[in-house]
Every structure is written in structure tokens, then in C-alpha cells.
Amino acid sequence: MVRLENISKIYKNSTEFAVNGISLNINKGEIFGLLGTNGAGKTTTFSMLCGLFPPTTGEIYINKLSVRTQISEIKKIIGVVPQSIALYPTLTAKENLFFFGKMYGLPKNELKKVTEHWLKIFGLSQYADKKIKTYSGGMKRRINLIAGILHKPELLLLDEPAVGIDAHSRLEIMKELKKINAGGTTIIYTSHYLEEAEKFCTDIAIIDKGKIIIQGKPPELIKEAACSNLEELFFNLTGNNTNV
Amino acid sequence: MYKLKASVIKEFLVLIRDIPGLIILFAMPIAMIIVVTLVQDSTLKSISDSKIKILYIDNDNDILSKSLKEGLLKSDIFEIDTAINTFSQAKKEVASGKYRIAIIIPADATNTIRKNVKPIVNNIFAPSNKKETNFKKPEIIILTDPTTKNTFRQTVISYLQTYTSKIETQILFKILAEQMEELTGTTPDLIDKPIETIVFKEILAYEKETSIKPNSTQHNVPAWTMFAMFFIVIPLASNMIHERDNGSFFRLLTIPGNYLTVLGSKTIVYLGITFLQFILMILTGIFILPLFGLPVLNLGTHPLALIITALASGLAAVGYGILVGTITETHEQAGVFGSVSVIILASLGGIWFPVYAMPAIMQKISIISPLNWGLESFYDIFLKNGNITDILPEISALFVFFIITILIAYFYEGAKRLRF
């Protein structure tokens, strides 16, 4: 589904690699975790996957389409949930979702149905007409997620989707993401919450200083390294405490 | 069209929920147009409404000082105060700002003029090498507050000079008449009023027949309408930066569609706002300004030309706002750059000071300001009763400016991402 071929990125006015020679193969139906500390290169990789800017070298393919040359086609099949609350704070939840849904080209009737469906699933129906700026952090995160899945994308790209919210809201979001994945959507997910990733992801890659240092299925990786969990494995490999 | 409509609705909702932004867009220009038009209505008219207090020290106590005082009172512009009678006290009062102006008539001023009459009459018949040139001239001292603006000072001094010159002639005639009476024993008819042998008739050189008369309303309404329209740059640029900061712009970039849809929706909504500003300013000129005793705005007889000018000016303002919103990174940058650049363009464009009165170099530079093009187009309609053909050069320039700014913003945004 997604293939990264030796991609590198050096930002303008920088001599250092933000991403350095990453190659990955992500299969359809996977929940793939791109894990690492802040500044490891996760968001840069995520942005290149979204087609926001091209890699300095290397190629990215999604459904055999090149991100560099066929981004318009790719945009139709991906859903993006950025790390920031990418919503209009003075608009209500419904107004935000209607706007983004229409921008994805969803017809009015269908949009109304899916909006109501997701608001109900995430327990936000009664707040649908409240402005986003009045929402709690957890509620905003949920609307941020809904805005990225309204059009039923084949590939969902999530950049730290549950960062900065309470454990209950996080658990609820992850539970729903599992259901979305079960419905056939491939998920690429960046996070520095390793405990959460261990439970959530089918496959992971750990990035450090722009390079992948390990990749595979979490239980296998933990077993091979004779560690008790992903966090211990990560610490052994990088010398970093990820939650700091 | 579906996406454009959705985007327009979103822009509209975001805009109407930004109360401070709406105040900037509507209330401030209206307040500005009322205040500035009242102030500029006519320097002397506004002076007469409030009456300027003049400290008047009469050390002459004769025809000159009495006539000048009488004339100043009659003018309805000045209010005379004679409470103080020494130069040093007067200087102190003016320096402290209590009076803007003090006039000190020297002792024997009228007598000095009287003494000059005989040599003046003799000079008429004397050969050129025997003419008396060494006249003693009474010196009227005018004390002015240094904080008083030059233009105001010059206006008052020029008024005093004109008036004293008339009085001087009157005195000369009066004394001449007295002397003739002494010589002939008969009293000639005294000329009480200054003789005016020349009158000025001003004819406004219109190319077309019109009932339009230039006045402060006809000048100020279009000028401040242009200024208000271009001030849209600040909320528009701020809206774009806010969209970038909160990540919704990032999300939009990951959605299929053309960036021109985003720019198009902003253009439609903000163009609507500029047109609404235009209508409000027109209504202010017709209904509100007359309440303050100002002339009613005359719209001319070409409403279509007026609407086209408003739309072309609005497009230019929106294009500039989108460009500023694209090239600036923060609210601070957009606020400072947006407002300062609009003020510079407005100054160059003749919003505050007429272009024809600017130095030659500035007149040449002024043609780069889109505010100048819009203002000239409005003036063609409001002051010369111009039609669409008359405004074609200006509106074409405004439209081209809009296209150029949008294209720069479009390509700059694309290039910005490639530069990462």
C-alpha cells in the first residue's frame, strides 16, 4: 500500500538530515506506528507522506502512485489527522465537519449521515452545534479525527492523534481507530507514547535522528531483544526516555 | 462550484464571528469619514464654528486699531479678548497655549499712516529722482503659539494682511478726504467701504453638463472609502495566518482540490465586504454627513460606473490582502506591514493630501498606488460626472493589479512548500 524508497530530507538553511535514507513497506490493513522522540523525524516523514513537500531524495508511493508526481490522485484516497487541532475555532463542530466533508466532495445527504454517525460514535452529538473553541482538549481531538475520516479514506495518516489529552479520551480514540482499521482502512500513526503503540500497532518502525533503527511487529521485536516491553526496547536502542 | 460554495460559506461564518475584525471593517471607516470630513469641511468654516480667541492689544486707539477690531469681529471667525495690554503678558499667555494668536497694534499706528499720506500724494507729481521712499511703517505684531500648525497660521495671517490692507486704503482715502476738505472747504463724499474694482468669478471647467459641486463631502467620501477598502488587508491577512497557525490550512492542502478555490472563496467574501463598506460610506455621505451640517453626497448620473469602480477597487484591495497574508508569517508582521503599507499607499495615492499639490517627484511616484487609481476613478464620477469610458484606464489598472497579486500569492505559496 505504501512504499518509501530511501527517502531523505534536508530542510532549507540546514545542513543536517531531518530524515536520512528511510525505506519502508506498509501493507494494506496494517496499523503502522512510526515511533520516536520529539525531533526524530516522524512529522517530517508524515508531512512527506501527505505530499506537503517532496523528499530531497528518494521516492514515496501510495497505491503505486508517486507522491512527487501524482499527489492529486493520492489526496483522494488518504485521510489526514494532523497533530495540531486543524479546525476553525469559531465554527461549530457540525460547521467544521460539513466544510471539510464538502471539500472532500461528499454529497450533502451523505455528509449529513456520516457526520451524525461519527458524532454519535464519539459521544459528541449534543455538542454538535457548539463552537470548537468552547470544547475541551479531548473533544477537540475527537472532532479533529472525525474531520480526517469523513470520506472513508483507504489510508489514514495520524500524527500524534491523542497527544495532550487525558487517558480516558485517548483510550476511546484508539478504540475507534481500531474499529476503523477493522473496516479496511490502513493506518500510519506517529507517536512517542510507546505503551499505547505497543497495544495499538500491528507493525512499528522506530526512528532516531532521521534513521530507522528497528522495524517489525512489536511482540516479535520485544521477544528478540529479550525486553519486557516496547519502552524498554526503545531505551536500550536509543538511550532515550521517550515520554520525557 | 460545490467546493467553492462550501468554502465561501466557511469564510463568511469565520468573518461574521470575528467581532473586532468587523469593527475595523465597518465602524472605524464610518467614524473616520465623519470626523475627517467635519475637520476638513473648510478650514475657515470650521474655525468660524468654534471661533478663534484672539488676544487684542490696542496701543493705537485710533482708526486703524478700531477698524481692524471691528472687521475681525464682523468676520465671525474670531473672538476678541482685550483683557491684557502689555507685550510681555501677551507673550506669556500665547506661549502657555491659552491663546493661539495675539495681535498688538503699536501706539500711533494711525498717525504714522496719516503722516505718510502727504508724501504719498506728493510722490504722485514728483519727478522720479525726487520721490520720497523713506516711509515710517507701523509694525503690527502677531504673536503665535509655536504648536499651531503652519497652514492654520498662514491662513489667519493672510486673512489679517488682506483685511489690514483694505483698512489701510480706507484710512488713506479718509485722510485724503480730510486734507481736501482743509484745502477746498468742502466735505467730499467719504468712501466708507474699500473700493473693489476687480471681482473674481470661478467657473468649474466640466467637460459635461452636471449639477455636481466640489465640496468636502464629494472629496472625502471616495477618499475614505478607498482607505477603508484597503484596510481589509489586515483582517484578511490575519485570517490567512490564523488558518496556517491552527493547522486548518495544512488540512486543506491535503484535501483534493485547487488552491485557487481557497483564494477564490476569500476573494468572493472579502469583495462582498468591501462592497458593503462602499454602500455604507455612500449612505453615510447621503444621510449622516448632512446631519453634521455637511453637504449631501451627489452620486452623479452614472451608477453603473460607480458600482464598477467600487468592485474594481475592492478586488485590488482583496488581492493585496491575500498577497500580504501569503508572504507574511505572523500576525505581528501582517499587522505592521499591512497597516504601514496601506498608509504609505494612501499617502501616495492622494487620500490625505491632493496629488497635484505634492512635489513633482512624489506626483510621479503616486501613480504606483492602486488607491490613487481608485480615487481618480471615484473623482471622475463624483466630481466630473464621468461615465464608464472615462474610468476605463483606472478600473483596468485595478483589475490587472488584482490578477497580478493573486498570481504572485498562488505561485509564492506553491514555491514556499517546495523551498522546505
Please say whether the beta carbons of B38 and B291 come within 8 A. Answer: no
CA distances from B19 to A15, B14, B16, B235, B241 (A): 45, 10, 7, 11, 17
Average pLDDT over residues B225-250: 89
Q: For residue B208, what pLDDT is reported?
A: 66
Share of chain B above pLDDT 70, in %: 89
Q: Please say if the pLDDT value at position A243 is more than 50.
A: no
Place of cell 532521521: A210
Pairwise CA distance, residues A95 & A79, whole Å: 19
A31-35 and A211-216 beta bridge pairing: unpaired
Q: Which of A145-149, B105-109, B122-126, B381-385 has the lowest mean pLDDT?
A: B122-126
Q: For residue B212, what pLDDT is reported?
A: 66
More confident call, B204 vs B39? B39
- Does the pTM surpass 0.80? The reply is no
| B197-201, B211-215, B285-289 — most confident range | B285-289
Average pLDDT over residues A130-148: 90
Share of chain B above pLDDT 90, in %: 21
Average pLDDT over residues B36-58: 69
Angle between helices B28-40 and B259-283 in degrees, nearest 10: 40
Q: Residue A95 and residue B2: Cβ atoms within 8 Å?
A: no
Q: For residue B192, what pLDDT is reported?
A: 58
Q: Residue B419 and residue A54: Cβ atoms within 8 Å?
A: no
What beta strand segments (E) does A47-114 contain? 57-62, 65-66, 78-81
CA atoms within 13 A on the CB side of B278: 25
Q: Which of A164-173, B133-142, B193-202, B295-304 has the lowest mean pLDDT?
A: B193-202
Q: For A91, which of B14, B250, B256 is closest by C-beta distance?
A: B14
Q: Which cell numbers hold the place of B144?
A: 503665535
Q: For residue A131, what pLDDT is reported?
A: 94
B210 band by pLDDT with thresholds 50, 70 and 90: low
Place of cell 524508497: A5
Please say whether the beta carbons of B340 and B256 come within 8 A. Answer: no
The DSSP output letter for A241 is -
Nearest residue on chain A to B258, alpha-carbon basis:
A72
Handedness of CA B300, B302, B307, B308 (dihedral sign): negative
Give CA torsion, residues B316, B320, B321, B325, to 10 deg: 150
Q: Residue A91 and residue B13: Cβ atoms within 8 Å?
A: yes
B191 band by pLDDT with thresholds 50, 70 and 90: low
Nearest residue on chain B to A99, alpha-carbon basis:
B6
Q: For residue B292, what pLDDT is reported?
A: 82
Q: Please say if the pLDDT value at position B138 is more than 80.
A: yes
For residue range B216-229, what is the model confidence (pLDDT) as tens digits? 777 788 888 898 89
CA atoms within 13 A on the CB side of A117: 12
Q: Which of residues 40-69 of A touch B (CB under 8 A)?
A: 50-54
Q: For residue B211, what pLDDT is reported?
A: 65
Q: For B3, which of A89, A98, A102 is closest by C-beta distance?
A: A102
A2-9 and A19-26 beta bridge pairing: antiparallel
Pairwise CA distance, residues B104 & A154, whole Å: 92
**Conformation bin of residue A152: beta by default, left when phi > 0, alpha when psi is -120 to 50:** left
Q: For residue A132, what pLDDT is reported?
A: 93
Q: Which of A88, A156, A188 should be substituted to probe chain B, the one whose Cβ sees the most B Cβ atoms within 10 Å?
A: A88
Q: Please say if the pLDDT value at position B420 is more than 70.
A: no
Please say whether the beta carbons of B325 and B317 come within 8 A. Answer: no
Q: Which of A8, A9, A102 should be substituted to probe chain B, the one whose Cβ sees the most B Cβ atoms within 10 Å?
A: A102
The DSSP output letter for A227 is -
For residue range B256-276, what is the model confidence (pLDDT) as tens digits? 888 888 899 999 999 999 999
ipTM above 0.90, yes or no: no
Mean of the per-residue pLDDT values of chain B = 83
Q: Please say if the pLDDT value at position B44 is more than 60.
A: no
Q: Which of residues 78-117 of A touch B (CB under 8 A)?
A: 78, 80, 82-91, 95, 98-100, 102-105
Q: For residue B46, what pLDDT is reported?
A: 47
B295 band by pLDDT with thresholds 50, 70 and 90: confident
More confident call, A129 vs A39? A129
Average pLDDT over residues B192-200: 64
Q: Residue A105 and residue B252: Cβ atoms within 8 Å?
A: no
For residue range A104-116, what is the model confidence (pLDDT) as tens digits? 989 999 999 999 9
Q: Please say if the pLDDT value at position B316 is more than 80.
A: yes
Q: Which of residues 176-235 of A touch B (CB under 8 A)?
A: none
Average pLDDT over residues B141-168: 78
Q: For residue A129, what pLDDT is reported?
A: 93
B25 band by pLDDT with thresholds 50, 70 and 90: confident
Q: Please say if the pLDDT value at position B48 is more than 50.
A: no
Average pLDDT over residues B29-51: 68
Mean of the per-residue pLDDT values of chain A = 87
Q: Residue A103 and residue B252: Cβ atoms within 8 Å?
A: yes
Q: Residue B252 and residue A90: Cβ atoms within 8 Å?
A: no
| A63-77, A195-209, B92-106, B315-329 — most confident range | B315-329
Average pLDDT over residues A115-126: 90
